[in-house]
Amino acid sequence: MQLKITHRTEYLYERYVHHSIHELRLTPINSSNQAIDSWKISTPNKLTESFDAFCNTCHVFVMDSNYMNLMIEAKGEIHTKDQSIFEDPKDAVSPYYLLQQTHLTEPSSAMLEHFESLKKERWTPDLLLKLAKEIQEMISYESGITVIETSAAQAFELKKGVCQDHAHMMLSICRSFDIPARYVSGYFYDEDNSDLASHAWVDVCLDIENAIWHSIDVTNACFSNDRHIRLAVGRDYAHVAPVKGIRSGGGREELNTKLSIEKC
Q: Where are the domains of the chain?
A: 2-80+243-263, 85-227
Task: Note the pLDDT tens digit of each residue in 76-134.
Answer: 999 999 999 999 988 889 999 999 999 999 999 999 999 999 999 899 999 999 999 99
Q: Where is 259: in which H helix or E strand?
A: strand 253-263
Number of H helices, E strands in the chain: 5, 15
- pLDDT surpasses 80 at 228: yes
Q: Are strands 140-141 and 160-161 parallel, antiparallel or unpaired?
A: parallel
**CATH of span 85-227:** 3.10.620.30
Give me the pLDDT at residue 194, please.
67
For domain 2-80+243-263, which architecture applies? Answer: Sandwich (2.60)
Beta bridge partners of residue 70, listed in sequence order: 11
Give me the pLDDT at residue 227, please.
96
Beta bridge partners of residue 229, listed in sequence order: 187
Is the Cα dihedral 219, 223, 227, 228 positive or negative?
A: positive
Long-range contacts of the stretch 108-117 (C-beta < 8 A, 24+)? 108/153, 108/156, 108/157, 110/153, 110/156, 110/157, 111/152, 111/153, 111/156, 111/169, 111/172, 111/173, 111/176, 112/176, 114/156, 115/173, 115/176
Give me the pLDDT at residue 192, please.
83
